[in-house]
Amino acid sequence: MSYSVGQVSGFAGITVRTLHHYDKSGLLSPSDRSPAGYRLYSDADLARLQQILFYRELGFPLDEIAAILEDPQANALDHLRARHRLLNDQITKLRRLVEVAEHAMEVQQTGVELTPEERFEVFGEVTFDLTYATQAHLKWQHREGHQRSMARAAAHSKEDWAKIMAEAADWRLRLRTAFDAGEPADGTPAMDLAEEHRQHIARWFTPCPTDMHARIADDFATDPRAFALVVPPTEQRPGLAPYLRTAVHANAVRQSRGDGG
């Protein structure tokens, strides 16, 4: 059977212009002509086109495709291996670009407008997981408290962040000490640490009533990405996240009774 340019374009999913280009370059010339002089493709032509499209999908340039198809001694496997190596190299480069883009997005999502060098200097191991930051932003973006928190975070200077992180590091040390010493999560030392964390949020980001603090602590216990914002993985202990959650909820009850904090 023979097929017109339009028919081949339709079922091959490529443009007529592309077929004309393949014809002009000698890569794929129709075997037949109609009585009126129109190009007609044979089944053998379509088989060749299928090979061309396969190699094009893998990113082979047209001249290399022509060499593979025209040289009976050409080792297609060698060409494919070389293309495989090249594609893997490109994937590695693209992954690096994705990481750069994610870090840039991360800055925007968290409101922390520091250079990468400043971020590393200030935050060290404490990192903002992009997926968590994005989900949190989408979840709370219309809440006034979240908007206020993002605005204040964006306004903090490098010096402000250094103070914030120093406070947080000191608090984490005392939290771990209480946990390691076996202090009960609903005891006064643990509740005092929970209240200190609540005041830290209020001082640097947004007013944090106890019910809001309890919701934040619930995330600590259920989402490792959230807890990593407070305690880096290298400083965590098994059970520390639920310990903090219990302390926060116990402190909320204590505050509601006006017993302390």
Same domain? For 91 and 30 the reply is no
Indicate whether 163 and 85 sit together in one domain.
no
- pLDDT < 50 stretches in the chain: 125, 128-131, 133-134, 137-138, 141-142
DSSP the chain: --EEHHHHHHHHT--HHHHHHHHHHTSS--SEE-TT--EEE-HHHHHHHHHHHHHHHTT--HHHHHHHHH-TT--HHHHHHHHHHHHHHHHHHHHHHHHHHHHHHHHHHHT----HHHHHHHHTT----HHHHHHHHHHHTTSHHHHHHHHHHHH--HHHHHHHHHHHHHHHHHHHHHHHTT--TTSHHHHHHHHHHHHHHHHHT----HHHHHHHHHHHHH-HHHHHTTS-GGG--TTHHHHHHHHHHHHHHHHHHT---
* Sequence-distant (≥ 6) Cβ neighbours of residue 129 within 8 angstroms: 225, 228, 229
Residue 65 and residue 79 in one domain: no
**Final residue of a domain: which of 60, 83, 110?**
110
Tell me how far apart the alpha carbons of residues 107 and 20 are, in angstroms, rounded to a whole number: 48
Contact 33, 39 (CB under 8 A): yes
Q: How many Å is the Cα radius of gyration of the chain?
A: 31
In terms of domains, do 84 and 128 share one? no
pLDDT given at position 109: 52
Same domain, 52 and 177: no
Which candidate, 179, 95, 171, places its Cα nearest to that of 126?
Answer: 171
The whole-model pTM stands at 0.49
The residue from 70, 92, 126 where one domain ends is 70
Amino acid type, 137: H
Q: Please give the pLDDT value at position 77.
A: 74
Contact yes or no for 33/40 (Cβ under 8 A): yes
What was the pLDDT predicted at 129?
A: 47
Q: Give the pLDDT confidence score for residue 134 in this predicted structure.
A: 45
Q: What angle, 0 to 180 degrees and rounded to 10, lies between the N-to-C axes of helices 62-70 and 43-57? A: 130
243 and 121, same domain (yes or no): yes
In the chain, the number of structural domains is: 3
Residues 35 and 151 occupy one common structural domain: no
Distance in angstroms (rounded) separating the CA atoms of residues 160 and 180: 30
Max Cα–Cα distance, the chain, nearest Å? 100
Residues 97 and 135 in one domain: no
Asked if 89 and 130 sit in the same domain, the reply is no
For residues 60 and 165, state if they share a domain. no
Domain that holds residue 31: 2-70
**For position 16, which CATH number holds?**
1.10.1660.10
pLDDT value of position 138: 44
Q: Measuring CA to CA, which residue among 229, 205, 238 is closest to residue 132?
A: 229
Is residue 84 domain-shared with residue 167, that is, in the same domain?
A: no
The answer on 91 and 197 residing in a single domain is no
CATH code at 246? 1.10.490.50
Looking at 88, 110, 132, which one is the last position of a domain? 110
Q: Which amino acid is at 12?
A: A
